[in-house]
A and B are shown apart, each in its own frame.
Chain A
Amino acid sequence: MKKFLAIFVAKQASFWSRIFGRGGGGALPGVLALRIYPEIVKDLTENLSKGVVLVTGTNGKTTTSKMIVEILEASGLKVLSNSGGSNLARGIASELAMKSSIFGKIKEEIGVYEVDEATLPEVISYVKPKAIVITNIFRDQLDRYGEVDKTAAILKKAIESTPESTLILNADDPIVASLGKDKENVTYFGITDERLNAKSDLAIDIKDCLICGAELVYPHRYYGHIGLYVCENCGFARPKTSIAAKNVKLSPENTSAAININRESGNLSLPMTGLYNLYNALAAVSTANFLKIKSTIILKTLNNQKPAFGRMESFETGGKKAVIHLVKNPTGFNQVLEAVTQNRKNKTALIVLNDNFADGTDISWIWDVEFELFKTGFRKIIVSGIRSEDLRLRLKYANVTSRIIKSEKNLNTALNLAIDETKTDETLYILPTYTAMLGIRNILVQQGILKNYWSK
């Protein structure tokens, strides 16, 4: 009875939320459903014949989950997922309540959920996942999680509570790889390419071996603490991978690599920029391979990817091109900047820094971002958001000339200004934190330029 009531109330909440134009309702239906019937997630996921895959990590959760879902769907499976990007337990409960019949029956066969690192223990207490995918662990919203070490400790404990689950881990991230040490059902993915080397020394989160504390040695470092590493003291080293990318080629709009799946070689050609997206794709390949999806389906789907909500979403207005890149932590921002600056043409930027809870209330991380890269190639930079003054100051200390910078607190005005300042042959790069991204998308949806993300 409680189950029935929980699903009913959640469906009602979502319905009225849409009617009143407040979006898909996001987490609200889930909040209500969980309050009425706390077992709802456990109960409903037991109906999924092929089980549940959880995707966690600091960066790339949304993109990786989206890739996995599309591969599984291309193979003919019916998939449940929290594609709206509400990756807390209530978001998952929302999605389940929406998709199930009023009597709790679900026609889908498998669930793919992105889960916040701190939420993983709670979600695992509801549902024993078939696989847990961990993309990477970086400095994120430290005000919420404490420290990188603390995040790793939370994940470690969560993993130990579900020993039957297979771990799909990034071999090139020593923090993530250390979680698979001495475990049996682990599979690793990574990149082996000695021509790739990090450009930035900023925001390296760890330098010490997580097993013994000695300094890690990196024969090759790709970015942040991601790369090929070894501890010369205890022997902890980057593990062997079952899915590896080689011959990586990066361009402003495409990332390609040679990749082996079950000894069959194939070519990955992602229509996305940035090494971080290659890692997302490798995580998706590993997961799909674990679920026994054919390699041809995997590659075909990935090679026809469209970006996830607010991640490299592009649009055109008045003949001008614009791209939205969500930025939420120093490594992510540095990676986006590295990708953006591969476009050598003149460009403009709109950077928006908010410090609401979902953005992380501590904004000091912008000092670990290489704003110096804005010195060349940008014709105009607009700064906005709740903490626009901090952005403006950061640009000053990065020696970006004040002539090209404009501060505009009002987001609507800032967006219009940024579009006006962009010439027809140029690209506007919009770099917002999470809640700023939602604000910008709202404005663009109202202007009919972007679609609501829930009206797929």
Chain B
Amino acid sequence: MQKLTIFHLYPDAMNLYGDLGNITTLVRRMHERAIDVDLLDIKRGDKADFKYADIIFMGGGQDRGQKAIAEDLAKRGKEIKSEIEKGLVALTICGGFQLFGKYFKTSDGEMLEGISVFDAYTVGSDKRCIGNIVIDVSTQKWNSPLKTLVGFENHSGLTYLEGSTKPLGKVMIGYGNTGEKKDEGAVYKNCYGTYLHGPVLPKNPHFADHLILSALKRRYGKSASLKKIDDSLEIAAHKAAITRSRTAKTVHI
């Protein structure tokens, strides 16, 4: 039986907006394919050897949560980075995404060092990017008829990409990384960053499956494949979210 190990980074401090639903989704979609799952919660100070991880996940958090874990994450930065260079699959959302970049300079001028997996930096701003978001991910070679990602964004940090880090997609509806350019999220090797909550994976089953398949291939070789499963409810929710994004009013603080 195939088995994959998920490391969930800082589930206690970085757990906003139902991000736990991403873990629920990964686990269920693996179980449906008879893939065994080991799920490990990694908290501040816990021992963790990232060589054993197949997928790492880090969600969003409040400013306080982010500050509380930044130092601990920095200590693990080198190890995580070296595994990502070797193809480790990672999904980071919002606050997690920001700390996988070079740094986050908050709106009150404080500097939070990131672990520089992404060639990107984040600057705090006064405006808040809030609302439903739809991005075009047709440039990603994911084997699916769905070419969009849907979610909900809520961030005041603006993230600028540089060098070899590519965006995850192009904004169709919403703000994305900066609210100015059309970029949303970031991709480096198998490491993904995005501002999409919602949570992102349940309504975007093609993205979830791409993460699982990438991890399978890394662990079990290129011939690994993923059995098709019934995604009618996922696709219905995906489509409904696109329709709603066109009509729902966005509110600014």
Distance A148 CA – B60 CA, assembled complex (angstroms): 13
Distance A362 CA – B12 CA, assembled complex (angstroms): 21
Query: Least Cβ distance of A382 to chain B in Å?
Result: 15
Distance A162 CA – B149 CA, assembled complex (angstroms): 47
Asked if A143 and B62 make an inter-chain contact with CB atoms under 8 angstroms apart, the answer reads no
Given contacts A143-B154, A367-B18, A392-B233, contact A208 B64 (CB under 8 A): yes
Q: Which residues of A contact B197 (CB under 8 A)?
A: 362, 364
Contacting B63 at CB < 8 Å: which of A149, A390, A393, A397?
A149
Given contacts A149-B63, A361-B132, contact A393 B202 (CB under 8 A): yes
Distance A393 CA – B249 CA, assembled complex (angstroms): 23
Task: Classify chain B: how many residues form its interface, as a range.
Answer: 35 or more
Q: Let me know if B131 is at the binding interface, CB within 8 A.
A: yes
Query: Least Cβ distance of B15 to chain A in Å?
Result: 8
Contacting A355 at CB < 8 Å: which of B65, B128, B248?
B248
Q: Let me know if A4 is at the binding interface, CB within 8 A.
A: no
Asked if B128 and A146 make an inter-chain contact with CB atoms under 8 angstroms apart, the answer reads yes
Q: Let me know if A106 is at the binding interface, CB within 8 A.
A: no
Q: Which residues of A contact B248 (CB under 8 A)?
A: 355, 361
Interface of chain A: mostly helix, strand, loop or mixed: helix
Q: Which residues of B contact A139 (CB under 8 A)?
A: 16
Q: Let me know if A39 is at the binding interface, CB within 8 A.
A: no
Query: Least Cβ distance of A251 to chain B in Å?
Result: 31
Q: Identify which of residues 1-52 in chain B touch chain A, using a CB-to-CB cut-off of 8 Å.
A: 12-13, 15-21, 24-25, 28
Q: Number of A interface residues, CB 8 Å?
A: 34
Chain A residue at minimal CB-CB distance from B21: A367
Asked if B20 and A397 make an inter-chain contact with CB atoms under 8 angstroms apart, the answer reads no
Given contacts A361-B132, A367-B199, A389-B233, contact A213 B64 (CB under 8 A): yes
Asked if B28 and A397 make an inter-chain contact with CB atoms under 8 angstroms apart, the answer reads yes
Q: Identify which of residues 152-208 in chain B touch chain A, using a CB-to-CB cut-off of 8 Å.
A: 152, 154, 197-199, 202-203
Contacting A147 at CB < 8 Å: which of B25, B62, B203, B244?
B62
Q: Which residues of B contact A367 (CB under 8 A)?
A: 18-21, 24, 199, 202
Asked if A149 and B62 make an inter-chain contact with CB atoms under 8 angstroms apart, the answer reads yes
Distance A145 CA – B253 CA, assembled complex (angstroms): 7
Q: Mark A301-321, 1 if CB is under 8 A from B, else 0.
A: 000000000000000000000
Q: Let me know if B240 is at the binding interface, CB within 8 A.
A: yes
Distance A390 CA – B202 CA, assembled complex (angstroms): 9
Q: Mark A281-299, 1 if CB is under 8 A from B, else 0.
A: 0000000000000000000
Interface of chain B: mostly helix, strand, loop or mixed: mixed
Asked if B236 and A389 make an inter-chain contact with CB atoms under 8 angstroms apart, the answer reads yes
Q: Which residues of B contact A330 (CB under 8 A)?
A: 18
Asked if A392 and B236 make an inter-chain contact with CB atoms under 8 angstroms apart, the answer reads yes
Q: Mark B131-142, 1 if CB is under 8 A from A, else 0.
A: 110000000000
Query: Least Cβ distance of A239 to chain B in Å?
Result: 21
Chain A residue at minimal CB-CB distance from B237: A389
Q: Let me know if B68 is at the binding interface, CB within 8 A.
A: yes
Distance A411 CA – B204 CA, assembled complex (angstroms): 27
Distance A20 CA – B229 CA, assembled complex (angstroms): 53
Q: Let me know if A363 is at the binding interface, CB within 8 A.
A: yes
Distance A389 CA – B12 CA, assembled complex (angstroms): 29
Q: Mark A364-380, 1 if CB is under 8 A from B, else 0.
A: 11111000000000000
Chain B residue at minimal CB-CB distance from A207: B12
Asked if A368 and B253 make an inter-chain contact with CB atoms under 8 angstroms apart, the answer reads no
Query: Least Cβ distance of B74 to chain A in Å?
Result: 17
Q: Identify which of residues 163-212 in chain A touch chain B, using a CB-to-CB cut-off of 8 Å.
A: 202, 204, 207-208
Asked if A362 and B62 make an inter-chain contact with CB atoms under 8 angstroms apart, the answer reads no
Q: Let me know if A142 is at the binding interface, CB within 8 A.
A: yes
Q: Which residues of B contact A366 (CB under 8 A)?
A: 18
Asked if B244 and A355 make an inter-chain contact with CB atoms under 8 angstroms apart, the answer reads yes
Residue numbers of B with Cβ under 8 A of A are 12-13, 15-21, 24-25, 28, 62-65, 67-68, 128, 130-132, 152, 154, 197-199, 202-203, 233-234, 236-237, 239-241, 244, 248-251, 253
25 contacts between A and B (CB under 8 A): A139-B16, A145-B253, A146-B253, A147-B62, A147-B63, A207-B13, A208-B13, A213-B67, A357-B251, A362-B130, A363-B152, A364-B19, A364-B152, A364-B197, A365-B18, A367-B18, A367-B20, A367-B199, A389-B237, A389-B241, A390-B237, A392-B237, A393-B236, A394-B21, A397-B28
